[in-house]
Amino acid sequence: MAVNPERLRERREAAAPDLALTGPGTPMGRFLRRFWTPVCRAADLAAGHARPIRIMSENYTLYRGAGGAPHLVDYRCPHRGAQMHLGWVEGDAIRCVYHGWKFDGTGQCLEQPAEEPGFARKVRMRSYPAREHLGLIFGYFGDGDPPAFPPYPAPERDGLVENPVPPVIPCNYLQCFENSLDEVHVSFVHRQGGSHQGMYDLPDISAEETVWGMIRFGDRDGKRRVSLHYMPNCTRVIVPPMAGFDGAGGWRELYLNFVPIDDETSQWFIAYHVGVTGAAVAPYLEKRELYWQKLAAAGPAQDLARAVMAGRLAFADIRHPDLVRVQDVAVQAGQGAIADRDNERLGRSDTAIILWRRIVARELAALEAGRPLKRWLPAPPEVVPTLGF
């Protein structure tokens, strides 16, 4: 197993297992908290409702005021620790179910029905900025002011934006994100089922750091596929319709956010842009409805992925309308709850992964040393992913 010492050194530098750990106080956790993070589909939070969320190993309460504005506050009431989402939304405020303490969207306590007057104004919980973009609610969990919003541009072309149910994936977010940086996997993982026609030739991979993140190229016979990676965890890429979609809507643009729930679980918050307009919309929606019915009937792709990982099922045995999802989850979660990056053998096809790790490692080193970090700029809307063929 002789390895070129130069490459070995580069790999050691590239390997950064700490990038996987995002709990409070971890270097990567501190870094990710400096960006807007998707936390929920906008459609999953009706006005006047509250729900618990878990992001990077910390719990929060997300609620939407009567007027429609989303708010993010602490998970527990400061009184005796009841979960705030059990309570009621009243106007733009939320009231704890346990003893009726009421808080506004900034976390200030407004009422304590059974306590002495004057106690309420001394009590405050933390609140966190919350905004919406492309059908997703984003939160900001860092110190100081959040960066510019939105975190990445919307598509400029006409069409539909869709947000599928955000799947919970039984592994660390990083192996999911790194899979999205890895075009070569398509030629093998997704060959069965034939979803990615035209992409089974192996591309030459290259990548470049940009002012907003990283751009990645896959070159095949002079044709170039372009994918975007917005800092710190969103991949924008062209993908084929799901296996069960019968081609409706054609290849679409995917914004894929890989969000840590905790170190061993992640959630994918997704926005699709499907370029159908005018008369094409109605038949597309009909197809989509049928596909969704098939999908609901087929059960979660993650369950099948787990059976494959355990050896109880083989890919070849699976009929599922989102076979690509089954394949992706099995391969990524199959790397382990947190992939072992100390024993990798990276090669030239891993170029984009190596560059991304190097960028982040540089930023983490600056953060640790108290040096200024790179000031990421908003991405120009005209830089878009392309299929290249």
What is the binding site for a copy of itself (CB under 8 A)?
Answer: 1-3, 49, 51-52, 76, 78-83, 85-86, 96-100, 112-116, 119, 122-124, 184-185, 187-189, 202, 308-311, 314-315, 330-331, 334-336, 339-340, 343-350
> How much is the CA Rg of the chain, to the nearest whole Å?
22
Distance from the Cα of residue 49 to its chain's centroid: 23
- Measured in degrees and rounded to the nearest 5, phi and psi for residue 274 equal -110, 125
What are the backbone angles phi and psi of residue 71, rounded to the nearest 5°?
Answer: -135, 145
CB closer to a copy of itself out of 303 and 344: 344
Nearer to a copy of itself, 190 or 236 (CB): 190
Shortest distance, CB of residue 151 to a copy of itself, whole angstroms? 25
Query: Of 247 and 336, which CB lies nearer to a copy of itself in the complex structure?
Result: 336
Closest CA to 295 of 315, 266, 323: 323
Whichever of 171 and 276 has its CB closer to a copy of itself, that residue is 171
**Smallest gap from residue 156 Cβ to a copy of itself (A):** 33
In the bound state with a copy of itself, the residue whose beta carbon lies nearer, of 3 and 148, is 3
What the block records as the tokens of 240 is: 């084929």
User: CB 128 → a copy of itself: shortest distance, Å?
Assistant: 17
CA-CA-CA-CA torsion sign (85, 122, 92, 72): negative
Element holding 174 (H helix, E strand): helix 173-180
Minimum gap (Å) between residue 129 Cβ and a copy of itself: 21
> CA angle, 134 as apex, 89 and 38 as ends, to 5°?
60
Least spacing, CB of residue 352 vs a copy of itself, in Å: 12
Cβ 289 to a copy of itself shortest distance, Å: 25
* 136, 257 Cβ separation under 8 angstroms: yes
CB 268 within 8 A of CB 167: yes
How many beta carbons lie within 10 A of that of residue 208, not counting itself? 10
Minimum CB separation from a copy of itself for residue 130, in Å? 16
For a copy of itself, the closer CB: 53 or 270: 53
| Tokens, residue 88 | 């009621």
Cα gap 125→103, rounded to integer Å: 8
- Which of 34, 85 has the CB closer to a copy of itself? 85
